[in-house]
Amino acid sequence: MAYNNYPGTQPIWVNGKAGADTFMVAPNNTVPLWDLQEQVIYLKSVDGMGRPSMQILDYTIREIPTSDDFTDLKNEIANLKEQIESLKKGKKKNEPVVSNNESE
């Protein structure tokens, strides 16, 4: 069974590594096998001599940031820019003004 990277190709699901180990792949082909139990993809390959090999890929699901997250990030960047400008001028934002005459 050759792996065709065409739109509409359905994933092949296996039960754990044992399922991936027993899945038959034709010589000179590589097949991605999706684990039903864990977030793992097995890339099973068979060379021209019929010897199998396998790579195991772990995957994680990413959260898609919402527009609020981008707004918060923009506000945080603007705040950091203000702090940098204040530091360049020699004073920190929200820092109390202390005269040189006062003792500690």
How do residues 75-87 score in pLDDT, each as one tens digit?
Answer: 889 999 999 988 8
Q: Are residues 20 and 44 in the same domain?
A: yes
100 in a structural domain: no
Residue 72 covered by a domain: yes
Q: Does residue 40 contact residue 59 with C-beta atoms inside 8 Å?
A: yes
pLDDT for 100 beyond 70: no
Helix H or strand E encompassing 84:
helix 67-88
Q: What is the per-residue pLDDT for 1? A: 44
Q: In terms of residue numbers, what domain contains 79?
A: 63-94
Model pLDDT for residues 53-64, shown as the tens digit of each residue? 999 999 988 887
The predicted pLDDT at position 46 comes to 95
Q: Are residues 89 and 72 located together in one domain of the fold?
A: yes
Q: Give me Rg for the CA atoms of the chain.
A: 28
Domain count, the chain: 2
Hey, how many other C-beta atoms are within 10 angstroms of the C-beta on 17?
16
17 and 53, same domain (yes or no): yes
31 lies in the same domain as 50: yes
Q: What is the pLDDT of residues 4-49, one digit of tens each?
A: 555 567 899 999 999 999 999 999 999 999 999 999 999 999 999 9
